[in-house]
Amino acid sequence: MRDVFATAARWFEEKRTFALATLVTLRESATAPVGTTISVDDRGQIAGNIGAGCYETEIVEAAMRTAADGQTRRLDINLVTEDEIFRVPGCGAMMQVVAWRPEASFLEDARAIATGDRDVRVSFVYEDSSGSRATFEHLYPAKETLFLVGATSLAGELAAIARRLDFKVVVVDPRPAFATMERIPEAHAIVREWPEDYLPGVLTSRTPIVILSHDSKFDLPALRCALRSEAPYIGLLGSRRSQAARRETLRAEAFDESALARIHGPAGLDIGGTTPAQTAVSILAEIIAGRHGRSGTPLHASHESIHRRGETISARA
């Protein structure tokens, strides 16, 4: 999606004639959410995909006409009916797509959506199925910033995968020999500061944090900052023993059990992976699941379950 608006911004700069086609309503299942947009110039060059199957060509043609004449067009697409040629059921979606031509003033918003630096609310007017004027509004949110404490090899894997998942990645580590872009090239920024000095001013309800250092000099200050913030996810790497030690220290500092329950440790869902890349996938899967209110089996729950079963077996023996 960001690539589509990056293309739109470039086409503005190149003085090209183009239109956008945006998915404005949706019923049942589909391969794209409301707000999905493609950019089409008057020569038929396309950026993006709405996922309308055989109707994609129709959308592109409508956008080309809108690029040429500036007239907003609505397309009602029914993917519920069977394909008349192949007799294959559609995906079950009914959608409305609107082709519209943005004004030149939209350039800055297109750039902002492309970079993800800020929230952008897009709106335009179109004619709905009853013939009335309707206004479509959609918020394209800024990228979430994922903070990683500890410039480890796992930080490199997390940064590489998180970029593909639309996160900005900031690595926090005061050690100049470790905290380099050469070691973690996919990070957006490397901050060579102590966690307690940097994190209090940047953690928000939209900034998950994962603590990777395995060193109490970094772990504990980062955990204190995270628990005092509204960070939506606090992940902590480390063995059960180190996890217990970190929690005991925080308990002694008057952090209560509800606060400690916010710590996902060991971080990640139990997907059975063992390599750094697989661990990175499991951590990011847990972050995404939490964002959408979904649950899986977290590694810490799996480990606790195994530990309890071991205690039971030993007791019976």
pLDDT at 90 over 60: no
67 vs 306: which has the higher pLDDT: 67
Question: What is the strand order of the sheet 189-191 is part of?
Answer: 189-191, 167-172, 144-149, 209-211, 234-236, 263-264
- Rounded to whole angstroms, how far apart are CA atoms 288 and 264? 13
Asked whether the beta carbons of 53 and 85 are under 8 A apart, the reply is no
pLDDT digits (tens, 9 = 90+) for 178-202: 999 999 999 999 999 999 999 999 9
> According to the model, what pLDDT value does residue 305 have?
39
> According to the model, what pLDDT value does residue 29 have?
65
pLDDT digits (tens, 9 = 90+) for 105-158: 999 999 999 999 999 999 999 998 888 999 999 999 999 999 999 999 999 999
Name the token pair of 156: 């490199």
85 vs 54: which has the higher pLDDT: 54
pLDDT digits (tens, 9 = 90+) for 242-298: 999 999 999 999 999 999 999 999 999 999 988 999 999 999 999 999 988 886 777
Half-sphere exposure of 25 (CA within 13 A, CB side): 15
Assign 83 a pLDDT band (cuts: 50, 70, 90).
very low
Assign 88 a pLDDT band (cuts: 50, 70, 90).
very low
Q: Among all chains, which residue has been given the structure tokens 């603590």?
A: 211
pTM of the model: 0.82
Range 216-222 contact pairs with CB under 8 angstroms and sequence separation of 24 or more:
216/245, 216/246, 216/249, 218/149, 218/150, 218/173, 218/194, 219/149, 219/246, 220/246, 220/249, 220/250, 221/194, 221/195, 221/196, 222/149, 222/172, 222/195, 222/196
Treating both helix axes as pointing N-terminal to C-terminal, what angle do 276-291 and 153-164 enclose, rounded to 10 degrees?
50
Percent of the chain past pLDDT 70, that is, above it, reads 88
pLDDT at 31 over 80: no
Domain residue spans of the chain: 2-140, 144-307
Q: What is the Cα 21 distance to its own chain's centre?
A: 23
- Rounded to whole angstroms, how far apart are CA atoms 97 and 112? 23
Asked whether the beta carbons of 225 and 200 are under 8 A apart, the reply is yes
> According to the model, what pLDDT value does residue 317 have?
24
Name the token pair of 117: 């630096």
Asked whether the beta carbons of 149 and 213 are under 8 A apart, the reply is yes
pLDDT digits (tens, 9 = 90+) for 159-170: 999 999 999 999
pLDDT at 89 over 60: no
Percent of the chain past pLDDT 90, that is, above it, reads 77
> According to the model, what pLDDT value does residue 313 have?
26
Assign 18 a pLDDT band (cuts: 50, 70, 90).
very high
Q: Any bridge partners for residue 98, and if so which?
A: 22, 74
CATH topology of domain 144-307: Rossmann fold (3.40.50)
Name the token pair of 46: 């396309």
Cβ partners under 8 Å of residue 25, min gap 6: 34, 95, 96
Q: Among all chains, which residue has been given the structure tokens 């023993």?
A: 241
- Rounded to whole angstroms, how far apart are CA atoms 159 and 169? 6
Name the phi and psi angles at 266, rounded to 5: -60, 140
pLDDT digits (tens, 9 = 90+) for 227-256: 999 999 999 998 889 999 999 999 999 999
Three-state SS at 32: coil
pLDDT digits (tens, 9 = 90+) for 51-82: 767 788 999 999 999 999 999 999 998 876 54
